[in-house]
Structure 1
Amino acid sequence: MIRARIMATAMLFHNNELLMMKRSPTRTLSPGMWAAVGGHVEPAEISSPRNACLREIYEETGLLEEDIIDLKLQYILLRLNQQEVRQQFIYTAQTTRKDVLQTEEGDLYWIPRDQVLQRDIPFIYHSLLEHYFLHGSAEHIWVGTAGYNQQAEPEVHWTALVDPEMK
């Protein structure tokens, strides 16, 4: 039976640094790896992943909405993980401050942008970061679907999400 999981994530920047979490080795998803701040969308938040993202930011960092500048939906990732379809809404933003809380989820660090991809990062998040660093912020939303290339290597296929009715 296929299940579904909806998540909201934030790539938070302060100047040229990205806030990353070194996940606790006891976590179910990506234990011990580097990740962004975020988590599951609660049932009451299904129609507003932005609210879920703000809640997760606060729970995992202590940053309030007023500490965040230009929170923008930039990516939607879809992937199949065993018998679970995962849909992840990824937002980008700048923060006005760097002091953050530490929680049981993992340890938070501000990583210089040129060192981010050197971390032990899950494949799908690594692909997203590579794409973002190459293309930067866009006026549209990118949709990424995980799959394989012709050499049977995992990759993410990126498509701009557009409304075909708008010209």
Structure 2
Amino acid sequence: MHSTRHLTSIYLVRDDRVLLLYRRGSRAIADSWVGIGGHIEPDELADPTAAALRELHEELGITADQLTALALRYIAVRDTGTEIRTTYYFTAALAPAATVPSECAEGDLAWFDLADDPRLGMPVTARIAFAHWRAVGRHDRKLRFITVDADGRETGPA
């Protein structure tokens, strides 16, 4: 038997840079670079977009009206051996007037140039989604799927 965990992550973009969070002390992952996001609450399971926006507001104080082009880009399913994790990866552009705090209680915030390959320590599905999105996915509007089985075999993005 496996338990399940549902998560969201948003890659925020401004001026050809992406904002990432070095998350510390998570219950679900080791300290690592991720988009802004977190757990989907049980009443949000039918609406991962609402969960992503809630997490964005909780962590950075950013609201939906401060975003443009919010889109679900990747759905990743990972079998950890004891848990099935589904992560919904979104992208969004920050509106010009939106301000981003320099600090976050969840960890350290940093901007990365999209032209660079930062080779960051990321959880497996975040690494796959981020690398694909940087290289290919940000140039289209497709929704893609990623799977990682309990043995670490990856498929996708498809």
Normalised to the residue count of structure 1, the TM-score between the two structures is: 0.83
In structure 1, runs of 5+ residues without a counterpart are 160-167
Is the partner of 2:11 in helix, strand or coil? strand
1:35-76, Cα deviation, whole Å (9 max, x unpaired): 111111111111111000000111111111111111111110
Question: 1:136 maps to what in 2?
Answer: 137
Question: 1:104 maps to what in 2?
Answer: 105
Q: How many pairs were matched up?
A: 155
Distance 1:155 1:123 in 2: 9
Aligned ranges for residues 47-62 of structure 1 at < 5 Å? 47-62=46-61
Is the partner of 1:118 in helix, strand or coil? coil
- Superposition CA RMSD, Å: 2.1
Aligned ranges for residues 4-19 of structure 1 at < 5 Å? 4-19=4-19
Is the CA contact (8 Å cut-off) linking 1:13 and 1:95 kept in structure 2? yes
Question: 2:94 maps to what in 1?
Answer: 95
1:66-104, Cα deviation, whole Å (9 max, x unpaired): 111111111100110121101111111100235226332
Distance 1:87 1:3 in 2: 11
Going from structure 1 to structure 2, the CA distance change for 1:116 and 1:19 (only over 3 Å counts) comes to farther
Following superposition, the deviation at residue 121 of structure 1 comes to 1.7
Aligned identity (percent) is: 25
Distance 1:3 1:116 in 2: 34
Distance 1:16 1:98 in 2: 16
